[in-house]
């Protein structure tokens, strides 16, 4: 769950950094793969955590 949050956050931060570094009308990267994998990992961790609550 922690790694999912880290990967999701890193993908978002890297996307924002490349967006801000791009000149007007320039190209930038969207790290959708990192955000997707991180989000899926986070959701799986939350699902398991809620499923094992007593």
Distance CA 46, CA 13 (A): 22
Number of Cβ within 10 Å of residue 33's Cβ equals: 10
Q: In this structure, are residues 43 and 29 in contact, taking their beta carbons and an 8 Å threshold?
A: no
**Token representation of residue 51:** 């499923």
Q: Band of the pLDDT at 14, cuts 50, 70, 90?
A: very high
Q: 19 CB contacts (<8 Å, ≥6 apart)?
A: 28
Q: Hey, CA dihedral for 47, 2, 11, 17, is it positive or negative?
A: positive
pLDDT at 5: 96
pLDDT at 53: 85
């Amino acid at each position: 769950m922690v790694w999912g949050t880290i990967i999701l956050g890193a993908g978002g931060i890297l996307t924002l950094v490349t967006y801000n570094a791009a000149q007007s009308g320039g190209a930038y990267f969207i790290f959708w793969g990192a955000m997707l994998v991180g989000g899926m990992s986070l959701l799986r961790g939350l699902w398991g955590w809620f499923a094992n609550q007593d």
